[in-house]
Structure 1
Amino acid sequence: MARIVLIGGSGHIGTYLVPRLVEAGHDVINVTRGQRAPYLPHAAWQAVETVTADREAEDRDGHFATRIAALKPDIVVDLVCFTVPSAQALAEALHGSIQHFVHIGTIWVHGPASVVPTPEEAPRRPFGTYGVQKAAIEAYLLDRARRDGFPATILHPGHIVGRGWAPLNPAGHFNPQVFAAIARGDTLTLPNFGLETVHHVHADDVAQMVMRAVGNWRASTGEAFHAVSSGALTLRGYAEAMFRWFGHEPNLAYLPWDAWAAGQDSEEAQTTYEHIARSPNCAIAKAERILGYAPRFTSLEAVQDAVLALDLPGSTPALRN
């Protein structure tokens, strides 16, 4: 089995990935800032070696990439890389010494969709610092893979959800009080006609994708794959399904964007804008064909699994079966 270094393995994806790797017999090292425990407990963490490192600070000093290389990994899974210089330093330090490098990207590399579902090979038109940097990292790593044989695979998750944190809600932001309002049957007002889309994925399905990429490294090297559920949701369809899940008929209203945003917390309205301006709806045919990817959770099932663990005023367990 392989010696696998996870960078940022205590977060959303690592919570589910570490048990999968340990149970598969791999030797796992988790490189973390040490500021967070996994979202869910699991006995597998007792077998994990932990290395504490501040990536941002050590990148500035030029030490982070060499620290990772000194761990002598067979495989590196980079869950928290956000800048091209950081990716370049790591690739340079690891080139020629590892079997596989898996980078976790984002579906925001696409920007606004032209065709839906959007295939992996669609032209990149990202906007915003996060999407632009992630697209540039992808381009750099895939170029290294094809020119120099650097064994990189890129996985692009959608809106990651799972137990332990509040999921992206039907209003397009992360305030869990939206779910509380739905649980009570209160009116939920959506922007426009609620037809913009969001595309969730359960963190365990992203972990599944990592396992499949590692297990099919010859086929996955030099490729990028979407890691999303089987289908995106419109805000309206998402809200309607959640009302019914809590035992109510949908109680929705709609306002044009400017009027809607004026009645919201400014930061939450900006978060909604960031999501609906992209309205992702991504295909998984390539991942299904090459990696055998089969998401366990639909978008709704992924959200509902996360909402079950929230403490929502006004909701009752009987309505959340």
Structure 2
Amino acid sequence: MPKKGMYCSVPTKDGIQLKMRRYTPAGGDVAKNPVILFHGVLANKHSLDFGDPDDKNQNLKELWDTYSLAAYLSQEGNDDVKFDVWVPELRGRRSFHSFSCEYPDMPEPPVWCVDDYIEKDVPAIIQKVQETYARERKEKDSNSPVKVFWVGMSMGGMLAYAYGENKRDSRNLMGVVTIGSPISFKHTGSFLIELASRILAPRRISVTINLGKFLNNHKKIKNEFMENIVSKSTIDKDVMEEYITLGFDNDISSKVLSQFAVFFRHNNFCRYPRRPWAYDILDRIPLVKRRIGPHSYTEELHAFETPLLA
């Protein structure tokens, strides 16, 4: 078994491997189906698995005991059901930097979008969990792999909507829980949202963005973030400081944010448009929109039939 519960996904279609941590309950009433926790767009595993139970830093151990959803699901309760919990990181994340797989964990050049998470990362992660279960339980019927519970925060839940709309893929899902995961992006004409969606409009050039490093290198902006974004009544300042350092330390392709800009401009959770400029111009013409518009997960949500708590 890999050291400290670390696993590598099966290789993705574009030849990378994603890192995952597994928390196996030590006895008790354990659910038959595993749980996979998917983080959000600018986040990594720390959004749902904050801290580290095996780190030499006592503070990280205490954070894990107090704030980690993975800890609660896999360890908590005397009479409660416990879960076999898997915590993957999508491409570009850095929390598991000390652990290596056979293949790299980021493509070269580092250009990807939300579509790559849906079509490449998620299938590779789920397949690894299913193969591990089949091997451990020595299941002979490969046509009925174990179904998984999916818990997704923000974009992590959006990926579940998109993945579960496909009938073939939905067979892998036992149930889905989403936390703050939008399917509609209609806004009230906010100037800041409109400005951001224009600045992040799809471009030919893509760069990587590390929000954690940016905030730590720009103290004034970080302080403004702490003052105006963080709820002082519910989040301890020191905890949030630690989360910014750990949870935002990721290399995110700007194309991911450009795709989110498309979501906001068109109020549509959709694939990355082949011709973004044409989609911007012709989106309001219904007959033309159907021809040039990308596949819409928002419009196909009716195909999602997996039990959902949102």
Category of TM-score, reference length = shorter chain: under 0.3
TM-score between the two structures when normalised by the length of structure 2: 0.27
TM-score between the two structures when normalised by the length of structure 1: 0.27
